[in-house]
Structure 1
Amino acid sequence: MLEVIYVVRHAFRANWTVNPITGEYNSTITSPTGIPTDPPLAAHGVEQSNELAKHLCSLDPPIDVVYSSPFYRCLQTLKPATDKLFSNGLAGSRIRIDTGLGEFYGRADFNHPTPPTVGVLSPFFNYLDYDYISVSAPTPNGETIQELHDRVGFTLNRIISALDEDPAQPKALLICTHAATMIAIGRMLTGNMPEDPDTDDFQCFTASLSKFTRQSSEAVGSWNCVINSETAFLSGGAERGWKFNGEESFIQLPHVVVEAKGARL
């Protein structure tokens, strides 16, 4: 069975704005995929990804398989590590893109931008698994916090169960995702869902690493968090921490433009 799950949040990214009434998104830097909510890493984020790569390549147990959110910033964060691991025939030599591990957007009367497909991402990243099919996906007009946790729990259950049955018998899984999703992963793996979702429990600093070890044969609900968003390997330490603060719903918000500065996304 799978024994260890490593979870990382993408590194420091560029920003965008959104009009919460119209759903119009604008990015400060043009995204390589053409999607406003899919910006690349900032220069500092690139530095973080290189520091993270050194740490990921030294993990014990070593990474056997890699899954990622479909957003460009996650794959860009993984690239220094996966280029090295895959070139040495390690970590499964492919990244499996799953929209079920993707970003959290609050409920809205409009549709949020759709994440890039593997076909859109392929000119920018090698080693993508073209045969893998995502377990689930967020609804286009966003989610409640409970729906996010349900989506993440369902996705993890299916991924872990499939890896348990994999003839290659992987022992260690690496997931790259986003702040809200990283918190939800911690809660779903451990089964420690607080009564108040705004509870500050699982951390999610940029380019940080969390580690979970298995305690039973159950796919989700009984894992132990042994590392909670480690950043000791980053020269800048812990940056851009985040926690839930209400539903983040776009419905019935005042007529203002919201700037996404990276505190979560």
Structure 2
Amino acid sequence: MPAATRHLARRFGASQIALNTKMTIETIYIARHVDIYASSAGYRMNWVTDDWQSVTGLPRDPPLAEYGLSQAQELADYFLSLPEEERPTIMLSSPYYRCLQTAVPTAQKLGLPLYVEHGLSEWYSPVAPGTGLHPRPASAAELRTYFPEIDESWQSIYYPSRKGEDVEQVHDRANGFLRALIPYIEHKFGGKHKRVLLVSHAATVIALTHELIGDRNLPLRVGCCTLTELQRKPGETELIGAWERKRLADGSHLKDGATREWGLEDIIVINDTGLPGTENAADSPVGLQVDLLPPEVLAHV
């Protein structure tokens, strides 16, 4: 019995943490945000010009340019074209503006609430010691000012460290997040959802995919607005390594296909500089938010 489970058994009694072994989630879709400008050879707004402003006021959080917005519509149209029994019924997005812009058209066309989850946040290299912390996006309540589709009832269950992560740590984040997310959705919504859509960033998409498949060495390059589809292996009750690929970083739903692909082999990990004024700030909250999770979910982590 895992240590977490033994602790919960002592605290709540074994009968109260008996796990429901019936796993209801069957399919996980993972989309990278769109960020291409003007053409398939283009860039996110801040790659095209320095003359842009963060809508939210958060550093390193540029909005999408026109071409990216059209790709977000293509993604939504694709999901709408699927038979109803194949469409996602719940979607969660990174709190960064470009991810929310990517997610909103799908939320609108499928009539889904949009949940903001910090566990899907951008990957940042470790900060140089003494230089402060990386930026962190606002809460769901604050972001709802810009995106009324956001449902504030979802509280983020995981926060990455504002000190940054190396490649192993972003995988560890994905692992811990998924171990909690999957049973939490199944528990919170009473087994209602079979198909989940996650909207995130390239490195995080790769780490999530690696953990679900169970292979951190799997070569994978992720283009803008590409879609990964993973299905639970028949009869599988594990959470990590329990999914088989139906498609990986596929761009066939896009007019211009997969573009601006990125992979972990492109990483050069350097010590970034933190935000001025955060040198003495606390790196909090961070990690799995155990106080939000019921014993039935914590027993999986």
Is TM-score (shorter-chain normalized) higher than 0.5?
A: yes
Q: 2:66 corresponds to which residue? A: 43
Structure 1's unaligned 5+ residue stretches are 18-25, 87-92, 253-265
Per-residue CA shift, 1:37-76, capped at 9, x if unaligned? Answer: 1111111101111111100222351111111111111110
Aligned counterpart in structure 2 of residue 249 of structure 1, from 245, 270, 275: 270
Structure 2: segments with no counterpart, 5+ residues: 1-23, 36-43, 274-301
Q: TM-score, normalised by structure 1?
A: 0.82
Verify: 1:107 aligned to 2:129, yes or no: no
Write the letter of the residue equivalent to 1:158: A
| In structure 2, C-alpha distance between the alignment counterparts of 1:220 and 1:250, rounded to whole Å | 30
1:42-191 maps to which residues of 2 (within 5 A)? Answer: 42-60=65-83, 61-86=86-111, 93-109=112-128, 110=131, 111-165=133-187, 166-191=189-214
Contact 1:98 1:136 in 2 (8 A): yes
Q: SS where residue 100 of structure 1 aligns?
A: helix
Q: 1:235 to 1:16 in 2, by over 3 A?
A: closer
Name the structure where helix makes up a greater proportion of residues.
Answer: 2
Q: 2: distance between equivalents of 1:251 and 1:55?
A: 38
* Deviation for aligned residue 1:246: 4.3
RMSD: 2.0
Partner in structure 2 of residue 257 of structure 1: none
Cα displacement (A) at 1:232: 1.4
**What is the aligned-residue identity percentage?**
32
Please, which of 15, 28, 32 is the counterpart of residue 46 of structure 2? Answer: 15
In the TM superposition, residue 131 of structure 1 has moved relative to its aligned partner by 2.1
Provide, for residues 78-127 of structure 1, a one-character-per-residue CA deviation record: whole Å limited to 9, x for no partner: 111211211xxxxxx32221111110000012311112221321111123
The answer on 1:231 being equivalent to 2:254 is: no
The offset of 1:16, in angstroms, is 6.4
- Flag the 1:231–1:73 CA change in 2: closer, same or farther, 3 A: same
CA contact (8 A) 1:68 1:101 kept: yes
CA distance in 1, matches of 2:208, 2:249: 12
- Pick the aligned partner of 2:237 from 217, 225, 228: 217
- How far apart, CA to CA, are the structure 2 residues paired with 1:113 and 1:225? 33
Structure 2-normalised TM-score?
0.73
Distance in 2, Cα, partners of 1:114 & 1:44: 26
Asked if 2 retains the 8 angstrom alpha-carbon contact of 1:51 and 1:234, the reply is yes
